[in-house]
């Protein structure tokens, strides 16, 4: 071997800057190929034709009058007066009109708790305690007493069949999500248990529930369940429906969670076992944090669909947001023609909630993936 030379490494340099301008952007994104150009032109033409009409209907030709006769005049667009006239019925349903401050306060409390629970700084044992208190306050306000016994609050009693609108939507979805999520984790773990009895029960539960539409679950909860109860025993319809939605949602979510469990390499469990961790310690500290992190998008999908599926309770005579819209407009011949405006109104409400959930899920994804960033 001859003389050894010192190898000269080239210094690292930054990546070249990509040219960003309107014309290159257009060329790259909208007119990259003839298919792309054609699509751009067709979509552009459709927008040019229909967008002005739509905007005109929604804004420029719209009216805020609460007089239905004025809405019927030719050339008038959306008649937003229907919302002005009916918003209390749409939002609070058949809850007694003069008592509607109660669902308002109760719902505001619930929404505050939901927002607070999303903020990392508040994640502690106190949050769980705060939820217990908040839910108690919610039911006292809504019902007028706790467990139907303590009437010390001086509120008139409002039975659950008169609850409705947004408070009902939010209460049903919050409670069923809060109950269904832990249940789904337990069922998912159960389906992977090495104890055959537990595995069979969990598999049966998931397959049975998945084989039935939510509507029939609600029907069963609402109409069939009471037939099997002994005489004199009644359970509130709302509670039965809540349990129905929870059981339904948990079955679907359990499969999503199981997917996350399946994706983890076996070595994680083995490492935890070799360190002497018990089954539950292993699940809680090692397996679930990783498995749930990988299925955040799927779980959020389930949360959003629970939120919207609550509208199906209308078929068992509970009127949440979608139901109260029908309630508000069907009974009033003057305003019945303006259902479209009403639907756009509740669409906006649903969208705000669903969009917030989906943005929050993106934030959570970023948080849980921090350990994977270099």
Partner 1 sequence: MTAQSNTEASPIITFENVNKWYGNNFHVLRDINLEVKRGERIVICGPSGSGKSTLIRCINRLEEHQEGRIVVDGTELTDDVRAIDQIRKEVGMVFQQFNLFPHLTVLENLTLSPMYVGKLPRKEAEERAMAQLKRVRIAEQAHKYPLQLSGGQQQRVAIARALCLTPKIMLFDEPTSALDPEMIKEVLDVMVELAKQGITMLCVTHEMGFAKAVADRVIFMDQGQIVEQNAPHEFFNNPQTDRSRDFLSKILGH
Instruction: Give me the residues that bind partner 1 (CB under 8 A), please.
Output: 265, 267-268, 270-278, 281, 285-286, 289-290, 293, 368, 370-372, 374
Residue 173 CA to residue 349 CA, distance in Å, equals 14
Residue in the structure block whose two tokens are 């609600």: 218
The position carrying tokens 């006239």 is 85
* Of 42 and 275, CB closest to partner 1: 275
Q: Provide, rounded to whole angstroms, the least separation between the CB of residue 272 and partner 1.
A: 8
Residue 103's CB is within 10 A of a number of other CB atoms, namely: 27
DSSP for residue 146? B
Q: What are all long-range contacts of 70-73, with beta carbons under 8 Å and residues at least 24 apart?
A: 71/338
Residue 66 vs 290, nearer CB to partner 1: 290
Question: Phi/psi at 319 (nearest 5 deg)?
Answer: -105, 95
Please, what is the minimum distance in Å from the beta carbon of residue 97 to partner 1? 52
Q: CB–CB of 162/225 below 8 Å?
A: no
Q: How far apart are CA 300 and CA 298, in angstroms?
A: 5
- Closer CB to partner 1, 67 or 367, in the complex: 367
Q: Which is nearer to partner 1, 149 or 374 (CB)?
A: 374
Tokens encoding 323: 């139901």
**Which is closer to partner 1, CB of 161 or CB of 270?**
270
- Shortest Å, Cβ 261 to partner 1: 14
Name, in order, each residue with C-beta under 8 angstroms of 83's C-beta and a sequence gap of 6 or more: 90, 341, 342, 345
Residue 265 Cβ vs partner 1, minimum distance, rounded to whole Å: 7
Helices 339-368 and 81-92 cross at an angle (nearest 10°) of 60
Specify the residue, 200 or 367, whose C-beta has the smaller distance to partner 1: 367
In the complex, minimum distance from the CB of residue 129 to partner 1, in angstroms, rounded to a whole number? 24
Output the smallest distance, CB 340 to partner 1, in A: 48
Taking the complex as a whole, how short is the minimal distance between the CB of residue 268 and partner 1, in angstroms?
6
Cβ-based nearer residue to partner 1, 149 or 194: 194
Q: Which residues pair with 164 in a beta bridge?
A: 319
Q: Match 């539409």 to its residue by tokens.
A: 213
């Amino acid at each position: 071997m001859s003389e050894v030379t010192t190898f000269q490494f080239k210094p690292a340099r930054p990546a070249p800057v990509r040219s960003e301008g309107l014309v290159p952007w257009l060329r790259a994104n909208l007119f990259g190929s003839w298919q792309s150009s054609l699509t751009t032109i067709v979509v552009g033409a459709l927008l040019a034709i229909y967008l002005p009409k739509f905007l005109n209907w929604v804004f420029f030709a719209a009216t805020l009058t609460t007089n239905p006769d004025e809405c019927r005049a030719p050339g008038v667009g959306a008649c937003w007066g229907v919302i002005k006239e009916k918003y209390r019925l749409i939002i609070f349903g058949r809850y007694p009109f003069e008592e509607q401050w109660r669902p308002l306060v109760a719902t505001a409390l619930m929404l505050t708790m939901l927002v607070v629970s999303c903020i990392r700084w508040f994640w502690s044992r106190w949050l769980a305690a705060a939820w217990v208190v908040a839910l108690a306050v919610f039911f006292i306000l809504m019902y007028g007493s706790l467990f139907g016994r303590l009437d010390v609050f001086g509120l008139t009693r409002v039975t659950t069949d008169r609850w409705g609108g947004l408070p009902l939507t939010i209460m049903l979805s919050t409670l069923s999500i809060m109950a269904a999520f832990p249940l789904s984790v337990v069922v998912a773990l159960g389906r992977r248990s090495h104890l055959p009895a537990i595995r069979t029960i969990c598999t049966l539960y998931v397959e049975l529930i998945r084989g039935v539409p939510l509507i029939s679950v609600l029907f069963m909860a609402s109409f069939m369940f009471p037939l099997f109860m002994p005489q004199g025993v009644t359970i509130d319809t709302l509670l039965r429906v809540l349990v129905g939605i929870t059981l339904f949602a948990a079955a679907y979510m359990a499969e999503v969670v199981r997917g996350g469990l399946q994706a983890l390499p076996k070595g994680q469990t083995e490492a935890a076992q070799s360190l002497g961790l018990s089954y539950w310690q292993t699940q809680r500290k090692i397996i679930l944090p990783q498995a749930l992190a990988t299925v955040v998008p799927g779980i959020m999908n389930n949360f959003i669909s629970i939120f919207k599926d609550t509208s199906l309770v209308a078929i068992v005579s509970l009127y949440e947001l979608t139901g109260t819209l029908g309630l508000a407009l069907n009974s009033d011949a003057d305003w019945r023609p303006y259902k479209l405006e009403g639907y756009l109104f509740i669409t906006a409400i649903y969208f705000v909630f669903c969009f917030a959930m989906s943005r929050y899920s993106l934030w959570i994804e970023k948080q849980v993936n921090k350990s994977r960033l270099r």
